[in-house]
Structure 1
Amino acid sequence: MLARTSLSERPVLRWVFAVAAFVIAFAIRYELDAQLPVGFPYLSFFPAVIITAFFAGIRPGIVVALAGGIASWYFFIPPLNSFELTGGSVLALAFYVFIVTVDIALIHWMQLALQRVTVEKEAASRYAGERDLLFQEMQHRVSNNLGVVSALLNAQSRGTTNPEATAVLLQASARIGLISKIQRQLHDPGKQLLDMGPYLAQLGPDLLEASGIEGVRYEIDVETVELSADMAVPIGLIATELISNSIEHGRVPGQGGMIRVTLGRDGAGKDGGSVPLVLRVADDGPGWPEGFSPAASRNLGMRIVVSLTQQIGGRLDIANSGGAVTTLRFVSQPVPKLVGRAA
């Protein structure tokens, strides 16, 4: 197709190609004349016509067909070296005209079909580009609007004197900011997946910086887990609430602490490729109070965690093991690939 395109863009080269094809076809037929039995006057001209019509165009192909027919009539159809018409020569010429006409017509229709396909592909590519541009613009505006709302809530928190109201506004600002960040990372419509590893690696330090608490070590150990936007947002919010809870309650006053976040497979995939995953947040603080139940908690953050867990069809478990341990089990379709440890 590249060779045909270059010839079609160079008219002189098309006719040079046609002349060369005729000369080569004639030379081959002339050299084989003594070895061929009677009845093959057009043997080398058929491929010359087809090749010329395909690569140089229909008009050069027709010219090669006419030249080949005339040359065969004069040199290779008895009576030789004359244009005398006999019953045999008329039949041979009619056969030749029929075959080359069918060949050229088929090539012409094929080229028309290819041109239509090319036009349709260009139109589809143009529409896809416009769709991607509109999609990215929409994503960009949504993330910007969410960022503005988050900033407004943050500014409002600084203007309140009630500590509880300030805490609520800051939490709301952080949650909306999280959704804005995820939305911004999903600008590419061709890749509607978010790798949770880098996100979780940055989430802890961001929350620790926002809290103003120092001396808490943050560790993560995650596999490469790509989640869709529908799954990444609730998982990100759950992780935010659990890490925030550990920052607030998971350390002994006056001492440092450690928060550890892990994310990875929970056994082999099943159900046609679905992958059971486990998100675990642990700290080395005093642990969960005896008899504590997330479902019965009146804390807004824990109620959000429970609600989002139900939304994604997951299971939430809490335990004490050298501190508070919260485990979320859920299922996601994308298959994670194991990578190195993040820190």
Structure 2
Amino acid sequence: MTGSAPSRLRGIQTFLARTSLGERPVLRWVFAVAAFVIAFTLRYELDDRLPIGFPYLSFFPAIIITAFFAGIRPGILVALAGGVASWYFFIPPFDSFALTGGSVLALGFYVFIVTVDIVLIYWMQLALQRVTVEKEAASRYAGERDLLFQEMQHRVSNNLGVVSALLNAQSRGTTNPEATAVLQQASARIGLISKIQRQLHDPGKQTLDMGPYLAQLGPDLLEASGVEGVRYEVDVEAVELSADMAVPIGLIATELISNSIEHGRVYGKGGVIRVTLGRDGAGKDGMGVPVFLRVADDGPGWPEGFSPAASRNLGMRIVVSLTQQVGGRLDISNQDGAVSTLRFVSRPAPDLTGRAA
């Protein structure tokens, strides 16, 4: 730590000002005087019971306690007063300031010990002050980072919402049915990303519970499509996905549910769409949590020989691409209707706060 001794001492005083004694500077000196009086009284009362050679017995702890709790200067005061009192009362020749070889040696030993004690306490308080300052700075920087992060997330989600609204408005002004459908699908996809983004305003929690999204996703898509008579059922476990996983998984679910809405009904009848999300296996495999997402309907099922990878449908191409992105596997089958099962591994979210994710 750089700086002159006075500046360091001022730093110590700032540190002490945060303690109960530092809030009342006069108490620091009162504490020092009281510590000296107690130490002197104790040493004086024990004088007849102690062998010669312990003149500073009670002063050492008084100096250490005073320097630690009241500050360096009050500690130095107790050290000086204790040295003078010991020299006069407890070092031969008693009741005198005369110097002999023994008294000089005793005083020299005393000066050395109290200097070491006070210097060590001084360095310790410097270290404590530095830790306190760095902790406050880190807390301030963390607060600024969180604020900037939330503002960035807010702006991104707003911008995505604006793009979604523009696409939706453009779809209403388009007379071509195919173009209208494409624009509405694009608007829905971007709107989903915007919703997920809004839930990630907290930088300390970079995970998302997909259950509420899947529960609301179907009704939103059914309302947007104008299809009636379709029952939407959801069975989801509490599965937390990282932000990097939540967006592609949400988009995959959107495409699969939209496909069931469009093709999963027998003409003239209603229908049922079932969405299931849960853990796929016993638990963590060392790399993450195996998870499955299943979308099933009671419609006519997949066409014979249908392959999502070979499909030219934009929605299925998006599903295949996003499945590869998350490192998952998509299986389709016919079981009283079309069934699509996505299996993937939910990996931990990146740690943005220094805590374990």
For normalisation by structure 1, the TM-score amounts to: 0.92
Corresponding residue for 2:220?
A: 206
Aligned Cα root-mean-square deviation (Å): 1.9
| Cα distance in 1, alignment partners of residues 34 and 225 from structure 2 | 81
Corresponding residue for 2:53?
A: 39
Q: Is the Cα contact below 8 Å between 1:4 and 1:56 reproduced in 2? A: no
Corresponding residue for 1:338?
A: none
Which residue of the other structure, out of 156, 159, 163, is the alignment partner of 1:145?
A: 159
| Cα distance in 2, alignment partners of residues 2 and 276 from structure 1 | 54
Cα offset, 1:79, TM superposition:
2.2
Q: Is the Cα contact below 8 Å between 1:225 and 1:334 reproduced in 2? A: no
The gaps in structure 1 that reach 5 residues or longer are 336-343
**Matching of residue 129 in structure 1 with residue 148 in structure 2:** no
Which residue of the other structure, out of 258, 279, 286, is the alignment partner of 1:265?
A: 279
Which residue of the other structure, out of 51, 63, 81, is the alignment partner of 2:65?
A: 51
For normalisation by structure 2, the TM-score amounts to: 0.89
Q: Is the Cα contact below 8 Å between 2:277 and 2:291 reproduced in 1? A: yes
Corresponding residue for 1:92?
A: 106
Q: Partner letter of residue 96 of structure 2?
A: S
Cα distance, 1:108–1:208 mapped onto 2, change above 3 Å: same
Q: What SS class does the counterpart of residue 5 from structure 1 fall into?
A: coil
Cα offset, 1:27, TM superposition:
2.4
Corresponding residue for 1:339?
A: none
Q: What SS class does the counterpart of residue 7 from structure 1 fall into?
A: coil
Cα distance, 1:269–1:96 mapped onto 2, change above 3 Å: same
Q: Is the Cα contact below 8 Å between 2:92 and 2:103 reproduced in 1? A: yes
**Matching of residue 313 in structure 1 with residue 327 in structure 2:** yes
Q: Cα deviations across residues 177-209 of structure 1 (Å, max 9, x unaligned)?
A: 111111111112222111212221221222122
**Matching of residue 247 in structure 1 with residue 261 in structure 2:** yes
| Cα distance in 1, alignment partners of residues 120 and 323 from structure 2 | 63
**Matching of residue 218 in structure 1 with residue 232 in structure 2:** yes
Q: Cα deviations across residues 76-111 of structure 1 (Å, max 9, x unaligned)?
A: 222222222222111111111111111111111111
The gaps in structure 2 that reach 5 residues or longer are 1-14, 350-357
Q: Is the Cα contact below 8 Å between 1:278 and 1:330 reproduced in 2? A: yes
Cα offset, 1:43, TM superposition:
1.1
Corresponding residue for 1:190?
A: 204
**Matching of residue 229 in structure 1 with residue 261 in structure 2:** no
| Cα distance in 1, alignment partners of residues 152 and 190 from structure 2 | 17
| Cα distance in 1, alignment partners of residues 297 and 46 from structure 2 | 91
Q: How does 1:62-73 map to 2 (within 5 A)?
A: 62-73=76-87
**Matching of residue 157 in structure 1 with residue 171 in structure 2:** yes
| Cα distance in 2, alignment partners of residues 20 and 198 from structure 1 | 66
Q: Partner letter of residue 53 of structure 1?
A: A
Q: Is the Cα contact below 8 Å between 1:257 and 1:284 reproduced in 2? A: yes
| Cα distance in 1, alignment partners of residues 146 and 159 from structure 2 | 20
Q: What SS class does the counterpart of residue 319 from structure 1 fall into?
A: strand
Q: Cα deviations across residues 36-60 of structure 1 (Å, max 9, x unaligned)?
A: 2111111111111111111111000
Corresponding residue for 1:287?
A: 301
| Cα distance in 1, alignment partners of residues 183 and 151 from structure 2 | 29
Tell me whether 298-307 or 133-142 shows the greater mean CA deviation.
133-142
| Cα distance in 2, alignment partners of residues 4 and 135 from structure 1 | 32
| Cα distance in 2, alignment partners of residues 223 and 79 from structure 1 | 87
Q: Partner letter of residue 145 of structure 2?
A: R
Tell me whether 267-276 or 69-78 shows the greater mean CA deviation.
267-276
Q: Cα deviations across residues 131-176 of structure 1 (Å, max 9, x unaligned)?
A: 2222222211111111101000000111111111111100000001
Q: Cα deviations across residues 291-334 of structure 1 (Å, max 9, x unaligned)?
A: 21111212111111011111111110011112111000111223
Corresponding residue for 2:187?
A: 173
| Cα distance in 2, alignment partners of residues 3 and 140 from structure 1 | 41
Tell me whether 324-333 or 114-123 shows the greater mean CA deviation.
114-123
Q: What SS class does the counterpart of residue 19 from structure 2 fall into?
A: helix
Tell me whether 246-255 or 13-22 shows the greater mean CA deviation.
246-255
| Cα distance in 1, alignment partners of residues 104 and 53 from structure 2 | 13
Tell me whether 287-296 or 215-224 shows the greater mean CA deviation.
215-224
Q: Is the Cα contact below 8 Å between 2:17 and 2:23 reproduced in 1? A: no
Which residue of the other structure, out of 282, 297, 310, is the alignment partner of 2:311?
A: 297
| Cα distance in 2, alignment partners of residues 192 and 2 from structure 1 | 39
- The number of aligned residues is 335
Cα offset, 1:266, TM superposition:
1.3
